[in-house]
Amino acid sequence: MPDRVSYGLLKGKKGIVFGPFDESSIGWHIALYAHQEGAQIAISNIAAALRFGKPAELAKVCGDAPFIACDASIQDDVDNAIKEAKEKLGSLDFIVHSIGMSPNIRKQKPYEDLNYDWYVKTLEVSGISLHRVISSALKQDALNDGASIVALSYIAAQRNYWTYSDMGDAKALLESIVRSYGPRLSKRGIRVNTVSQSPTYTKAGSGITDFDKMYEFSDLTAPLGNATAEECAEYVMTLLSDLTRKVTMQNLFHDGGYSSMGTTLPIIRLVHEALKNEELVKKAGFDEFLPPDRNLNMGSDSQ
Ligand SMILES: NC(=O)c1ccc[n+]([C@@H]2O[C@H](COP(=O)([O-])OP(=O)(O)OC[C@H]3O[C@@H](n4cnc5c(N)ncnc54)[C@H](O)[C@@H]3O)[C@@H](O)[C@H]2O)c1
């Protein structure tokens, strides 16, 4: 791959990126690009990520960035992480929250039969942790005026995506926390936004049932196709930079236009053709998703 062009967008800035695990992680590319754009960064993840992932490798190529172990669902961990980041870097100009995890999805519990302890864990790790991080940074006076906070979201916060299960609830909470904090941060010119990213092959993403099919569908629907983790990182650079000083409390879709599409003619035609094939209809499990009085009118080509 040719070297990417850097613009010095984050020259002189300091920040912490929560969530890089390995090269597939969205947070990995955000950390790397932030370093390349001139920022001094710290990288954070749960301690186990050091054993099973590669954040130490990333830290090395990001100017020997400090790695700060933190379970973002535990207040003491978050407080210590912010304290350590401030000690090592000074006050922060940006925070990136690229954290998500659902034990119910991991263990394939259907939404109708959630394990509630795990449900709370999903909300804690994937939603409330953003509140903890911001709150801790404010209490410890660890954010500079004009700082930027970005968290990663998914369109299941607004629309139903069956297999996204309780993560849809966590993303709705995450986006709501952004709106609730926005005005409270504005007096100091601090911005807070979510970026709603296309399906992306990462450890968290690929754990979702039928992820490959969701990926394909959104890639076919989005006029510009799915956005990659690298492209997401590039977009996030603009949000961390001074170029977006008046952007706050937004959920910004970075999805190749997917969120504004209804569907496409080829997909409509494909479904139309497929519905005439009884075997395909059964294989796709249409009947499981339809009320009993809905007939598919299979085989008919009339309007
Ligand atoms: N992959 C996708 O399709 C997709 C699409 C839209 C949004 N997102 C969001 O992007 C963000 C990053 O996810 P990703 O897809 O890069 O996957 P990823 O698995 O690479 O990153 C998720 C990270 O969360 C970390 N994490 C889990 N529990 C934690 C905890 N208790 N404390 C701290 N960190 C914890 C994991 O160790 C991991 O590094 C998530 O918020 C995810 O929901 C992903």
CA of 99 to the centre of ligand 1 (A): 4
Cα of 19 vs centre of ligand 1, distance in Å, is: 6
Strands 67-69 and 40-45: parallel
Q: Is 26 annotated as a binding residue?
A: yes
Q: Is 149 left (phi over 0), alpha (psi -120 to 50) or beta?
A: beta
> Residue whose CA is closest, atom 36 of ligand 1?
19
**Residue 153's beta-bridge partner residues?**
196
- The closest alpha carbon to 9, from 29, 33, 28, belongs to 33
The answer to the question of whether 190 is labelled as a binding residue is no
| Fold assignment, 14-259 | Rossmann fold (3.40.50)
| Per-residue pLDDT, 127 | 98
Q: For the chain, 303 residues long, give each residue's pLDDT as a single digit of tens.
A: 557 899 999 999 999 999 999 999 999 999 999 999 999 999 999 999 999 999 999 999 999 999 999 999 999 999 999 999 999 999 999 999 999 999 999 999 999 999 999 999 999 999 999 999 999 999 999 999 999 999 999 999 999 999 999 999 999 999 999 999 999 999 999 999 999 999 999 999 888 989 999 999 999 999 999 999 999 999 999 999 999 999 999 999 999 999 999 999 999 999 999 999 999 988 998 888 888 887 776 655 544
Give the separation between CA 226 and CA 196, rounded to whole angstroms. Answer: 12
* Residue 55 CA to ligand 1 centre (angstroms): 13
Query: Domain spans of the chain?
Result: 14-259, 263-303
Q: What residues are paired with 149 via a beta bridge?
A: 95, 192
Pocket test for ligand 1, best of 25, 124, 259 (most atoms within 8 A of CB): 25
- Check the annotation: does 13 bind a ligand: no
Q: Which atom of ligand 1 is nearest to the CA of 229?
A: 16
The length of the chain, given as a count of residues:
303
- For the sheet with 67-69, list strands across it: 67-69, 40-45, 14-18, 92-97, 143-153, 191-197, 251-254
Q: pTM for the whole thing? A: 0.96
Give catalytic residue positions: 154, 164
Q: DSSP of 238-287, one letter per residue?
A: HHHSGGGTT--S-EEEESTTGGG----HHHHHHHHHHTT-HHHHHHHTGG
Beta bridge partners of 95: 16, 149
Write down the pLDDT at residue 287.
Answer: 80
Is residue 27 in contact with ligand 1, taking CB distance under 6 Å? Answer: yes
